[in-house]
C-alpha cells in the first residue's frame, strides 16, 4: 500500500480528522476544491495519458480523495465540468468530451467515445423522500454510469445514474436515458427507447418494431 493510500485510510477511519481534512480541501457548502488543491495536489494524485488535453475554460472540480483519470489522446473541451466528489471519474483513451458537458462521478467512459455538446452524465441522485428535510440536506445516492467503447452520445442528452451503455451504441441528441442501452444499438427520445440495432447477419442497422 502506498503512503498516500495509507494516509487516506487513516483519515477515513477518524471522523474528526475526516471533517477537518474536508474543510482543508473544499470550502463549506461548496462542491469544488480549493485553489491549492487544484494547482498543487491534484497534479501528483490524478493520472493523465500522453497527449491528453484539458481546455483552459474547463471546470475541473476533482478532489484527491477519489480517482480521476484521463486517457492518452483524450480531450475535455471548454466549459465542461468534471466532478469526482461523490465517485471516481475514469475517461479512456481518445475520448472527446464536448463543450458544456457535465460529468459527475461515478462515471467510467471507455476508449474512443464521442460525447457531443451539453451532455449531462450524473452518477449522483439527491434524496427527496423526507418532506420535512430540504432536498439539499438529504442523503445522496450514487450509481456508476458506464459508457462502452466506440459509442457516440448526441448533443443535449442526459444519462442518469446507474446506466450502462454498450459498446458502439448511439444515443440520439436530446435523449434522456433511464434504462441500459444494448451494444450496437441506437436509442432516442424521452425516455429513450430502442429504435435500431445492428444485425451482423445482414450487416445492416435495422429498425426495431
Which grid cell is 82? Answer: 468534471
Question: Over the Cα atoms of the chain, what is R_g?
Answer: 19
Look up 126 and say whether it is catalytic. Answer: yes
The one catalytic residue among 22, 46, 90, 126 = 126
- Residue 181 gets which letter from DSSP? B
**What letters, b where the CB count within 10 A reaches 16 and e where it falls short, cover 179-199?**
eebbebbbbbeeebebebbbe
Distance, in Å, from the CA atom of 19 to the CA atom of 4, rounded to the nearest integer, reads: 18
Distance, in Å, from the CA atom of 62 to the CA atom of 142, rounded to the nearest integer, reads: 17
What count of other Cβ atoms lies within 10 Å of the Cβ of residue 112?
20
Distances (CA, A) of 47 to 69, 113, 172, 191: 5, 19, 31, 35
Which grid cell is 24? Answer: 482543508
Distance, in Å, from the CA atom of 10 to the CA atom of 65, rounded to the nearest integer, reads: 12
Active centre residues (catalytic): 126
Amino acid at each position: 500500500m502506498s503512503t498516500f493510500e495509507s494516509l487516506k485510510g487513516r483519515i477515513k477511519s477518524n471522523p474528526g480528522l475526516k471533517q477537518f481534512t474536508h474543510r482543508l480541501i473544499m470550502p463549506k457548502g461548496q462542491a469544488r476544491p480549493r485553489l491549492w488543491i487544484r494547482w498543487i495536489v491534484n497534479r501528483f494524485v490524478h493520472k493523465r495519458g500522453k497527449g491528453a488535453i484539458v481546455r483552459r475554460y474547463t471546470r475541473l472540480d476533482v478532489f484527491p480523495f477519489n480517482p480521476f483519470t484521463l486517457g492518452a489522446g483524450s480531450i475535455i473541451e471548454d466549459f465542461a465540468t468534471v466532478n469526482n466528489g461523490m465517485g471516481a471519474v475514469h475517461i479512456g483513451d481518445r475520448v472527446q468530451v464536448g463543450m458544456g458537458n457535465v460529468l459527475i462521478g461515478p462515471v467510467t467512459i471507455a476508449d474512443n467515445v464521442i460525447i457531443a455538446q451539453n451532455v449531462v452524465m450524473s452518477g449522483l441522485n439527491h434524496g427527496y423522500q423526507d418532506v420535512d428535510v430540504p432536498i439539499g440536506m438529504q442523503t445522496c445516492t450514487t450509481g456508476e454510469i458506464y459508457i462502452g467503447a466506440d459509442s457516440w452520445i448526441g448533443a443535449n442528452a442526459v444519462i442518469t445514474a446507474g446506466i450502462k451503455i454498450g459498446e458502439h451504441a448511439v444515443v440520439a441528441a436530446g435523449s434522456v436515458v433511464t434504462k441500459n442501452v444494448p451494444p450496437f444499438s441506437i436509442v432516442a427520445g424521452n425516455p429513450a427507447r430502442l429504435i435500431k440495432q445492428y444485425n451482423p447477419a445482414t450487416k445492416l442497422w435495422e429498425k426495431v418494431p
